[in-house]
């Protein structure tokens, strides 16, 4: 289990140090802002939709390593997914970080690298850090939402 924990820590550190899909999006179809007032994490998520498919997703934010890594992982996971698939993925990740469902046992499981976020469930104060980007993405996907804001409080 130690090797798996080390792998998950490496995934979090890698995505924090070299976040994927970070930067603003000028021609976004949807946008949402999120904040975690408890620790100061802030994020903006932009989505470019092609019909019902998330064609592109970007984020800008500041916060702890977990919040930034989770945002980076989220962008990779939802790109190319339909709205319904992205929302289903939100539910699966949310249940995992809350500890309601066990984290998959390896990066080759059904959630891939997202399984690295599963360890957060052991640290309740960090759950909001890991879920902020996901709640923000979900808010951006809400039909008719015009620049909604979400808070983890």
* Angstrom distance (rounded) from CA 32 to CA 81: 18
Nearest to 40 by CA among 64, 20, 23, 16: 64
- Reading the block at residue 99, the tokens are 């500890």
CATH number for 69 = 3.90.1010.10
Q: pTM of the entire structure?
A: 0.90
Q: Which residue range forms the structural domain that includes residue 109?
A: 2-151
Count: domains in the chain? 1
Cα–chain center distance at 20: 12
Q: Give me the tens of pLDDT residue by residue for the chain, a chain 153 residues long.
A: 465 466 568 889 999 999 999 999 999 999 999 999 988 999 999 999 999 999 999 999 999 999 999 999 999 999 999 999 999 999 999 999 999 988 766 666 778 889 889 888 888 989 999 999 999 999 999 877 666 788 877
């Amino acid at each position: 289990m130690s090797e798996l924990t080390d792998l998950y820590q490496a995934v979090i550190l890698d995505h924090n140090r070299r976040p994927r899909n970070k930067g603003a999006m000028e021609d976004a179809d949807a946008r949402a802002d999120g904040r975690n007032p408890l620790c100061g994490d802030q994020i903006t998520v932009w989505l470019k939709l092609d019909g019902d498919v998330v064609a592109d997703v970007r984020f800008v934010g500041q916060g702890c390593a977990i919040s930034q890594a989770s945002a980076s992982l989220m962008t990779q996971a939802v790109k190319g997914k339909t709205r319904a698939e992205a929302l289903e993925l939100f539910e699966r990740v949310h249940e995992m970080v809350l500890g309601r469902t066990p984290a998959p046992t390896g990066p080759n499981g059904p959630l891939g690298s997202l399984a690295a976020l599963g360890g957060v469930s052991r640290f309740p104060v960090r759950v909001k850090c890991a879920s902020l980007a996901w709640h923000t993405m979900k808010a951006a996907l809400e039909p008719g939402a015009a620049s909604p804001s979400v808070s983890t409080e």
